[in-house]
Amino acid sequence: MPVELLDKKTADSLPIHLVAKDGLESAGLAQSVLAWAEANGFAGDAGKVLAIPGADGKLAGVLFGTGQRENGLGFGALARSLPQGSWHFATRPAHPELAALGVALGGYVFTRYGKKPGKDVGLVLPEGADAARLSRLADSIFLVRDLVNTPTNDMGPSALEAAVRKLAASHGAKVGVTLGDDLLDKNFPMIHAVGRASADAPRLIDLTWGSEAAPKVTLVGKGVCFDTGGLDIKPASSMLLMKKDMGGAANVLGLASMIMAAKLNVRLRVLIPAVENAISASAFRPGDVLQSRKGLTVEIGNTDAEGRLVLADALALADEEQPDLLVDMATLTGAARVALGPDLPPFYTDDEALAGELAAASAAVEDPIWRMPLWKPYDTKLSSKVADMNNVTTDGFAGSVIAALFLKRFVEKTACWAHFDIFAWNPADRAYGPAGGEAQAIRALERVIAARFA
């Protein structure tokens, strides 16, 4: 990773002094440093960095502003501001592991297409930070970002399968794939219908890891590698970010990486319906009625609501073995972004205990999520005059809730299920990462899974 996490302080390691907003006088700094900070207008504003010169004119350290309230991931600003070299915290952060993770994540650069990795910065881990845990979290999040940032010409369904196989090989997991017309033979008709128009054949990727006797945790990720909208084609402006429509798949792979690297006591299964919603003579059409794996028939009100179709077949498969925990993640609706913006993914569950655990984990690890209701009266909006259900409503209201209710119809046997409607993207640079692909909700989920199945 661009920021190297170090176990021990080196002789040339320089100090990072933490300063709260308007807290210079109480920061325990030398008078000469105080005078330098005041002369430069440094007041401890969040994310601000000020280099401190030594008596010999060389760099002697930096001041880092933590603002009114210290934010762990906000320490990521240091990754891009620190001069090259080795650094340590002269002041212990309130949340040392989050602070170190923030710095590690802030150093991410997507280099596949020639961008330079940047300077070499080493951070001595503060006391209380677990180096192994931080490394596996950062590596998993970088995996998510790399997958989402890669354009579809290099991350279509076959390339996504290759990425799953690579991850599986590094952890001794098994991978099975149902490809092309075999999807019809194996009863995954909606995955086939959505992906059949693409030159890169649709597939269901099935990764398994861990002891068969361990509690079952199944993750399902939307792997729509590009979404034109199908015959209900999107405008050009709406296709610019559609390489990220496999962000659900990328995030469940990141979560799987965390679980396997930590060797949690679970039997893990990851299901990814990998397709491209393309346009050709074989594309599925508005008004078509599709058979699903579960046996429910679905009228297509809009071909641009394809993610829920491929997820439905995968969820039906997952539900058949009634895992102890079933989680799906998908870049599913624009309505979720309208309601909560890009940074706060909604999640849906009927399991009150799980909802409480997720909320507590979200706050503890600074991984924001927000519970939304599975509002049963809206379920009738999915009615169809010719089939068991429609894939959209006609009024356009409550789009994220409606999509969650659609998916819920395909999860009947599993008691503990949660759906995450994520964005998987930073629209602008953040302290903890640049604009581009992003991991969302998986650190909170990893904390819950680790606690539940310890």
Active site amino acids? 234, 308
End-to-end CA distance of the chain: give it in Å, rounded: 28
Which candidate, 179, 191, 392, 157, places its Cα nearest to that of 309?
A: 191
Q: 């059949």: which residue's tokens?
A: 196
230 — alpha (psi -120 to 50), left (phi > 0) or beta? left
Task: Mention every residue, 6+ apart, whose C-beta is less than 8 A from residue 259.
Answer: 209, 217, 266, 268, 446, 449
CA distance 286 to 305: 10
- With beta carbons less than 8 A apart as the criterion, state whether 143 and 168 touch: no
**Integer Rg of the chain from CA:** 24
Which candidate, 59, 73, 76, places its Cα nearest to that of 3?
A: 76
Residue 172 tokens read as: 């001794």
Q: Phi and psi at residue 360, in whole multiples of 5°?
A: -65, -40
